A and B are shown apart, each in its own frame.
Chain A
Amino acid sequence: MGLYSETRFLHMGDRGLLLEFGDEISSEVNEKVRRMALAIQTEAIEGIIETVPTYRSLLIFYNPLILPIEELRKRLKHIEEGLRQTRFPDPKLTKIPVFYGGSFGPDLEEVAKYHRISPKEVIRLHCSKPYFIYMIGFMPGFPYMGELPDALVTPRLKTPRLSVPAGSVAIAQRQTGIYSMESPGGWQILGRTPVKLFNPEKDPPTLLQMGDLVQFYPIKKKEFESWKE
């Protein structure tokens, strides 16, 4: 199906309106999300507290006492009708160094076995193309990226880990991501990056932004240990 012919307006409680643009992870649907988010931000509508873009939907968090729901719907419909197909600025490409395998990439061997290829081939495939950042979520600065080469598509762990270290570079299904903070997690961990993805004191607080690109490249343990930003 991809992009819906008509955007769905779904209530998420009495202060959230969820605009759902499609039913798949695709650049077409994601682009509509970003375009709409940008247009709403530009309008700076009083009563909208924040907008949260994700893979295929956009949450509008609003104050109904300032902005009645009918008024909000009307304004959003109007913005959607006026969306122009202008091009976004070229995406920024960020190169992310990764030390693959060992204790930093506890699932590298298993992923290789699962696909009947060598760990080296897994690394080569993971670094074989730039990935598109569909959204930032789950935790501060965690980029959801895709799509992995077909030969790397791997299910999540059956039992999630109670603790995944910050910087862990991982895959799940067609997605790849980086744990920006230590947390529980069920993705397959291939390696770790010394690069810091989140800094609450910075503006914006995240190194990577939705709509940009990431290219991974392998580094040696020594380079990891002596990494300076």
Chain B
Amino acid sequence: MLEPGILTTIQDRGRYGFSQFGVPPSGALDTFSFRVANLLVGNQEGEVCLETTIMGLKLKALREVVVAITGGDLSPTLNGESLEMWRTHLLIEGDVIKFKKVRAGCRAYLAVSGGFVVPKIMGSGSTYLSGKFGGLEGRALKRGDILYTFDIQSPLSKLSLLFPSDWIPPLEKEVLLRVIPGPQNHHFTEKGFQTFCSSSYQVTPRCDRMGIRLEGPKIERRSDVEESIISESLISGAIQVPGDGKPIIILTELVTGGYTKIATVISTDLSKVAQLKPGDRIRFEPISIERAHLVLKKQEDIVQSFKDIIQRS
């Protein structure tokens, strides 16, 4: 690790089954890009990867290793030359990968064949930053860290593996997020809910792996219900509206909360949320639960088709 960049953490698919003890899932935020990165290098889709944010990560290969980079376009380079994303590359000892600057999106994923070696805590290698455990000593990576990988599993014949370009999700500065209303949408006035659905919200600098604060028109709540609710579970994508009427999209490092939630981003669109950075704009579109499940199925079909391609190659 020559430079850790703005924030680089070790993540896998997350830690499930421990929210009842107050332990949030953590895990890769853009699950689609994360899964594809793993599949490209011949791993199981949930293997331990690097998640890097905005820019600055610089790594040197200390041995031969197969890598793939997916997710946000952070201008990755190999020994100074631009490096193609969404495909496999063979690195040899001394090769340097650098993420120069953010061109689109926010988070990139780097998978290595075999996966990184980290202890599994509660069944997961994911870093839980505020809990200070998981990943590498529960912290973000820093200069001088050495990461070990398991031995290469995929045969070198798969080196030219490419993820079909028309399946790569577009990275836009203005995104439409589909949401399921509730569980507390009835705490807002009809006008307030209309404001939520028809306005454009901007991502503020107050965004991290716990949540994204948005700026935009204030969402009006009903005067006859209390501002806070009895603390209950949170889920990635839940949209909290605290007293100031400005929405916050909850991400993967929180378990419970006592603010009202007007809606929840559908799981398929969480990968888009993961690619938001300060200044980007959002609109919300309510859809039915049935449609959300169809959309999810469609995304799973893409992943499955890619697995089939890998099987055949």
Asked if B256 contacts A205 (CB within 8 A), the reply is no
Least CB distance, B252 to chain A, in whole angstroms: 12
Per the bound structure, the CA–CA distance linking A170 and B133 in Å amounts to 24
* Given A181-B131, A200-B121, A11:B235 Cβ within 8 A: no
* Given A12-B183, A12-B238, A181-B132, A52:B20 Cβ within 8 A: yes
> Chain B: which residue is nearest A10 at the CB level?
B183
Scoring A residues 193 to 229 as 1 if CB is less than 8 Å from chain B, else 0, what string do you get?
0000010110011100010000000000000000000
Query: Is B169 an interface residue, CB under 8 A from the partner?
Result: no
Query: Is B22 an interface residue, CB under 8 A from the partner?
Result: yes
- Chain B residues with Cβ below 8 Å from A50 are 16-20
State which residues 137-181 of A face B: CB under 8 Å.
137-142, 144, 180-181
* Given A12-B183, A13-B237, A55:B18 Cβ within 8 A: no
Asked if B20 contacts A136 (CB within 8 A), the reply is yes
**Which one of B37-45, B52-60, B194-202, B293-301 contacts A?**
B293-301
Asked if A12 contacts B293 (CB within 8 A), the reply is no
State which residues 120-148 of A face B: CB under 8 Å.
135-142, 144
Central interface residue in B21, B121, B231, B235, by most chain A CB within 10 Å:
B21
Asked if B21 contacts A56 (CB within 8 A), the reply is no
Asked if A65 contacts B230 (CB within 8 A), the reply is no
* Given A11-B264, A14-B180, A16-B235, A140:B230 Cβ within 8 A: no
Scoring B residues 274 to 311 as 1 if CB is less than 8 Å from chain A, else 0, what string do you get?
00000000000000010011001100100000000000
Scoring A residues 1 to 36 as 1 if CB is less than 8 Å from chain B, else 0, what string do you get?
000000000111111101010011100000000000
- Chain B residues with Cβ below 8 Å from A190 are none
Asked if B21 contacts A205 (CB within 8 A), the reply is yes
* Given A13-B237, A13-B267, A52-B255, A61:B230 Cβ within 8 A: no
State which residues 147-163 of B face A: CB under 8 Å.
none
- Chain A residues with Cβ below 8 Å from B176 are none
Asked if A137 contacts B130 (CB within 8 A), the reply is no
Query: Is B205 an interface residue, CB under 8 A from the partner?
Result: no
> Chain A: which residue is nearest B255 at the CB level?
A137
Asked if B182 contacts A10 (CB within 8 A), the reply is yes
* Given A138-B256, A142-B22, A12:B230 Cβ within 8 A: no
Query: Is B265 an interface residue, CB under 8 A from the partner?
Result: yes
* Given A11-B182, A138-B256, A204:B21 Cβ within 8 A: yes
Scoring B residues 84 to 111 as 1 if CB is less than 8 Å from chain A, else 0, what string do you get?
0000000000000000000000000000
Asked if B20 contacts A210 (CB within 8 A), the reply is yes
- Chain B residues with Cβ below 8 Å from A20 are 183
- Chain B residues with Cβ below 8 Å from A137 are 22, 231, 233, 255-256
Per the bound structure, the CA–CA distance linking A158 and B232 in Å amounts to 22
- Chain B residues with Cβ below 8 Å from A54 are 230-233, 256
Query: Is A64 an interface residue, CB under 8 A from the partner?
Result: yes
Query: Is B83 an interface residue, CB under 8 A from the partner?
Result: no
Scoring B residues 249 to 272 as 1 if CB is less than 8 Å from chain A, else 0, what string do you get?
000000110000100111110000
Asked if B266 contacts A13 (CB within 8 A), the reply is yes
Per the bound structure, the CA–CA distance linking A65 and B298 in Å amounts to 11
Query: Is A96 an interface residue, CB under 8 A from the partner?
Result: no
- Chain B residues with Cβ below 8 Å from A210 are 20
* Given A137-B255, A138-B255, A141-B22, A201:B231 Cβ within 8 A: no
Checking A14, A23, A68 against B267 with a beta-carbon cut-off of 8 angstroms, the contacting residue is: A14
Per the bound structure, the CA–CA distance linking A113 and B259 in Å amounts to 30
* Given A59-B235, A64-B296, A205-B122, A16:B21 Cβ within 8 A: no
A-B residue pairs in contact (CB < 8 Å), sample of 13:
A12-B180, A12-B183, A12-B261, A13-B180, A13-B235, A13-B292, A16-B235, A49-B17, A69-B289, A180-B22, A181-B132, A200-B131, A205-B21
* Nearest 8 interchain pairs by C-beta: A13-B264, A137-B256, A14-B292, A59-B233, A10-B183, A52-B233, A52-B19, A16-B235
With A14-B268, A144-B231 known, 4 other A-B pairs at CB within 8 A are A50-B19, A135-B231, A180-B22, A205-B23
Chain B residues with CB under 8 Å of chain A are: 16-23, 121-122, 130-134, 180-183, 230-233, 235, 237-238, 255-256, 261, 264-268, 289, 292-293, 296-297, 300
Chain A residues with CB under 8 Å of chain B are: 10-16, 18, 20, 23-25, 37, 49-57, 59, 61, 64-65, 68-69, 135-142, 144, 180-181, 183, 198, 200-201, 204-206, 210
